Structure 1
Amino acid sequence: MIGDRLRARFASDEGDPSFLGIGHPDVAALIAEFAPGSEAVELGGWTSTNVHLVGPGQVLRVHQRFVTRSRLAAVHDARRSLLARGLLVPEPLALLRCGQRVAELETYVPHTALAGDVAQFEALGQLHRASRGIAVPRPVDAQYGTPATLRRYLLDVRGDAETMRVAQWALGIVRELRRQWVPARELPTHFVHGDLVGPNLGRSDDGRALYLDFGCAAVRPRIHDLAVALFYLVVGPNDEGLAPDFDWSRVPELLQAYESASGEQLTDLEHRALTPYAAAIPLAVAAPAAYFPDSTYLRYRERRAGMTIAEWLLAHPIK
């Protein structure tokens, strides 16, 4: 059953936790092998351990157990294609083993944060323009889920009374999501980054947009990438944003910036799909709580903040 497979992927124990820190013996051994005597700085990250090896100017990324070598190899090929087409991404250098996991080495590119909402949507358009025809296999874990998938996950949630109350609330949101959903087969599909927000988008020293962390890359409706970018603008960096406080009148300007940079117009159906696809983001992040060892993940403040935005969006579709 799908639930059993996902529980196995997300399971954690003291000897092999889901996230390895820089001090884990397997990670420390790789650091010692590839950067002996060099300073190693942990860069943070949600789905992988990311370490800047200062001496050689590289980044070591150690992935979770469910990430396969074949998936990473395909993503490396995609990144090399983007480099050849003039986009700035860290050059992939090698695939490695880190205990029972796959790791990778890539170049470190000095950068600062990419400032400005319009600049973010322009960078997304540039990525889509450069990535036409590129394909990668779907990741196991991503900020994407159809209403049917989200419902199946949420029906598998088990926990105390408060956890189940939140699960029932989420299922109610999914019912409305299903009513407004536009199936992927009806939308233009494309290579998408899947998480082009915050620290995954920078500005290099020579002023170019820098694209980082392709862990969620896939071939999906291209509106999914815009929905991710928009949702995280609303929720804000501290998960404290409220949908009624967001300046929704700016959305046409952001979409125009994307269209100008990508060289393609969004279709009328894509405009309609932006609302449900944005509302699906926090639900896709929360729903896999059914397969975590501690299902209270579903009740975390940031999970509920995101679902509140999803509920508001579905009641106030983006014009």
Structure 2
Amino acid sequence: MTEYVFYGGKGGVGKTSCAAATGLELAGRGARTLVVSTDPAHSLGDSLETELSGEPTRVAANLWAVEADPEAGQETYRGIVSVLAAEFREAGVRLDDEDVERLFAAGFVPGSDEIAALEFIGEYAEADAWDYVVFDTAPTGHTLRLLTLPDVLRESLSTVGKVRGQLRRLVASARSVVFGPAALLRPGREPDEVDALRERMERVAALLRDPERTDFRVVLLPETLAIEETRRLVERLREFDVPVDTLLVNRVLEDVDENCDRCAARKARHERRLERVRETFPDCSVRVVPELDGEAYGRDALSRLAERIDA
């Protein structure tokens, strides 16, 4: 089965570089690998030095990459509103295009960016075209909304379903008055976008919680505030039964000039923070990623990063 690796954490900690490096490493081993960016502020293409779009682009042998398009979430939501509007029209409630746009703007189903991300996860989870799919997620708050969205959608779509049920009963009652028992002989309805979306979101939620297939890795820097934010993120992830076993402490200073007191002090500070990370997360594997010369952009830099990530 396809395996899924998610990189999460606050903004600016190096999630994109870690995801790109992991993708290159897995592809180098011969595994067909796809790297997906679900961050609306995409930088995956820059990291891989390749122009990306909403469709998988071949980056190297066995490696493809794609950037989720937030417009996809808007289209999914628009489809739901259109279904609901059709139910109103069938019940005799007149709605013109402006009315539908107002329904769309009202935001019955929240989180178009997150919906787009979940749609990408669901699409590639079911494609079965890759051995590994590596996800570069958005900063912490967006990721948590992403994880809670299936439950939020379940409630929202349930409300939509109740409204539609009432409308259908109203229409059926009116038809029975006019047509008698023949009204009950109408052919069954085809599955629609509301039901399909609910089913897709349930499958994605199950995937995210499957420890046999999903590995959620949190990236952080050796800083006090970063450690605290990571603690809260890991707690929230585990509340949703999302498996978190690996922490990557990025940009740790290891080699310093012996004559540089400031450098030595910074190295000692990083060592103390690493010890705190291990104490705070005793049940996680802590991987130390050293501070690299320059930025982790380009294939050579990503290859060096992959060696320390142990992808």
- How high is the TM-score relative to the length of structure 1? 0.30
More helix by share: 2
Indicate the structure (1 or 2) with the bigger Cα radius of gyration: 2
TM-score (norm 2): 0.30
